[in-house]
Amino acid sequence: MIVDYTESVEEATQIARVALPLANKYALPANPVNYAVLYEYVAGQNSELNAVLDQLREAKKELTSDQLQALYQRFVDSGDEQVINNVRQALAGIMASTIGSLDKVEQESQSYQASLGDAANQLASGKGAESPVDVIAKLIEETLRMQETSKTLQDELEKTNKDLMQLRTDYKRVRQESLIDPLTGIQNRRAFDESLSENCTQAGASHQPLCLLLVDIDFFKKVNDTHGHVVGDAVLKQVANVINDTVRGGDVLARYGGEEFAVLLPNTPMDGAERVADNICNIVRNCSMNQLSVGAEIGRITVSVGVAQFHSSESGEAFVVRSDTALYRAKESGRNRVCTHTFEAKVEQAVDV
């Protein structure tokens, strides 16, 4: 279910100020999933979500991230980017509120300056309907009023500073967590898409080689069906760790989807990428998948890998398709192996009319 977010800046700010403390109340990390659920709950636009969450709150003293994950997948699932936009709106709302306070003080200050000028002229000239005592009394009154305005501003700025510090922290955490796969701890599909675009642009401009590996765990459905999803998740983590230990610091490893991983290898030609892919296959094949490591004796796990090298005349999407084609060939030809896909330029022939 996708909900349209139509709140104004002020409304989004108020929702954020309720949603974040609600997360703290239940000791929930303000990650994108939790924040998205709580934001919609406070906003009250998703009636089905609110009904289920109200039942959970009434039935239990605690809420867990797993429960909110299930609610997110069932009722929200509109993309974590909206969460970041909500935090941006909250920040904008707080800043707008602060600017309004500053404008009010500026107006009060201008009025106070005008009163000081009038009083100075009356005292200097001796003219005017008011006596010097009345003029001074009025100045004291204006000064006290200005002090009260300044105190109000100071309190508002202190509160705003706390809000900004909290939201800045939450924004950074949300942004970072929105690019991380919560199960394996490596980058997720969104992070990969961003890295793919950046690396293809850089490779096209610098003419440096760029290769992509798509790695798929063989017969992973059988692992889930036989041993359950808990063991399956442990296998995913184990394979992710193996690949992460194999690649270099400048390489990009991401969970591409399900049991599939993507590895971008900047400044790496095809032969180097094949060596990396072979290493991944060999290490995974020899990795212990037993009771101690994954919670069950599941035997040998293998992976299939498709490799392609980027060509400056193709799009990032076409680059991924070629790597995926190579992966498909590896699985069709027996699995537990590496296959490559070489770029073939399309030549348009002129036709005489």
Note the pLDDT tens digit of each residue in 205-249.
999 999 999 999 999 999 999 999 999 999 999 999 999 999 988
186-207 per-position pLDDT tens digit: 999 989 999 999 999 999 999 9
Look up the domain containing 232 and give its range. 189-341
Q: Is 131 helix (H, G, I), strand (E, B) or coil?
A: coil
pLDDT exceeds 50 at position 148? yes
The domain boundary residue, chosen from 178, 210, 229: 178
Domain count for the chain: 2
Is residue 352 very low, low, confident or very high in pLDDT (cuts 50, 70, 90)?
A: very low
CB 152 within 8 A of CB 100: no
Nearest-angstrom CA–CA distance, 128 and 91: 50
Of residues 287, 226, 289, 220, the one with CA closest to residue 257: 220
Residue 231 in domain: yes
Is residue 40 very low, low, confident or very high in pLDDT (cuts 50, 70, 90)?
A: confident
Of residues 193, 307, 209, the one with CA closest to residue 252: 193
Nearest-angstrom CA–CA distance, 279 and 287: 12
Predicted pLDDT of residue 139:
62
Same domain, 3 and 48: yes
Residue 194 in domain: yes
CB 303 within 8 A of CB 310: no
Nearest-angstrom CA–CA distance, 260 and 240: 10
Q: Is 290 helix (H, G, I), strand (E, B) or coil?
A: coil
Residue 346 in domain: no
Predicted pLDDT of residue 107:
67
Question: Any residues with CB less than 8 A from the CB of 227 and at least 6 apart, and which?
Answer: 295, 296, 298
Same domain, 13 and 90: yes
Q: Is 22 helix (H, G, I), strand (E, B) or coil?
A: helix
Which residue shows structure tokens 């974590």? 80
Question: Any residues with CB less than 8 A from the CB of 333 and at least 6 apart, and which?
Answer: 339
Q: Look up residue 98 and give its two tokens.
A: 């602060």
Question: Which is more confidently placed, 49 or 174?
Answer: 49
Same domain, 163 and 201: no
Question: Which is more confidently placed, 302 or 51?
Answer: 302
The domain boundary residue, chosen from 178, 204, 221: 178
Q: Look up residue 325 and give its two tokens.
A: 């084609």
Q: What is the DSSP letter of 301?
A: -
Of residues 15, 18, 22, the one with CA closest to residue 86: 15
Predicted pLDDT of residue 353:
33
Average pLDDT, the chain: 80
Same domain, 36 and 156: yes
> Which runs of E-coded beta strand occur in 104-219?
210-217
Residue 259 appears among annotated catalytic residues? yes
Nearest-angstrom CA–CA distance, 290 and 301: 11
Nearest-angstrom CA–CA distance, 24 and 53: 16
Of residues 17, 11, 49, the one with CA closest to residue 33: 49
96-136 per-position pLDDT tens digit: 666 566 566 666 666 666 666 666 666 566 565 565 556 55
Question: Which is more confidently placed, 328 or 24?
Answer: 328
Q: Is the dihedral of CA 9, 14, 16, 17 positive or negative?
A: positive
Same domain, 4 and 144: yes
Nearest-angstrom CA–CA distance, 72 and 49: 9
**Residue 295, Ramachandran bin (φ over 0: left; ψ between -120 and 50: alpha; else beta):** left
Predicted pLDDT of residue 345:
63
CB 216 within 8 A of CB 148: no
Predicted pLDDT of residue 347:
44
Same domain, 141 and 256: no
Segment holding 264, helix H or strand E: strand 260-266
Which residue of the set 7, 40, 177, 259 is catalytic?
259
> Which runs of E-coded beta strand occur in 123-259?
210-217, 252-257
The model carries a pTM of 0.58
Same domain, 127 and 211: no
